[in-house]
Amino acid sequence: MTCRELVDFLMAYLDHELAKDQSERFDRHLQECTACTGYMNAYVETIRLGRMACSPLDEPVSSEIPEELVRAILAAKGGGA
């Protein structure tokens, strides 16, 4: 397997959609190629972060701004409170 083939079939590999022999070739390539292993790890992390960014929050976000935060911002801008 070449690095290009690995990139072309990465999603199918991660989704366990490759035939057994293809998956074994993938595994062998990853054992030998640190560049592809790094690429795959970065790809997996990117997907994880994307899902996390798009998932609903566990707690509702308050629309109220704490008064002490407003005063601190105004003081930092030189506007005083």
Q: What is the pLDDT of residues 2-24, one digit of tens each?
A: 999 989 999 999 999 999 999 99
Residue 81 falls inside a structural domain: no
pLDDT of residue 78: 78
Looking at every residue in the chain, the average pLDDT score rounds to 87
Structural domain span for residue 41: 3-56
Please report the pLDDT score of residue 59 as a whole number: 65
Determine, yes or no, domain membership for 79.
no
Residue 73 in any domain: the answer is no
Mean pLDDT over residues 28-46, rounded? 95
Q: What is the percentage of the chain residues whose pLDDT exceeds 90?
A: 56
Asked if residue 47 belongs to a domain, the reply is yes
Could you tell me if residue 75 is left (phi over 0), alpha (psi between -120 and 50 degrees) or otherwise beta? alpha
Is residue 24 included in any domain, yes or no? yes
76 falls within a domain:
no
Report pTM.
0.63
The tally of domains found in the chain comes to 1
For residue 65, tell me if it sits in a domain: no
State the CB neighbour count (10 A cutoff) for residue 22.
15
Of 12, 48, 51, 4, nearest to 29 by C-alpha is: 4
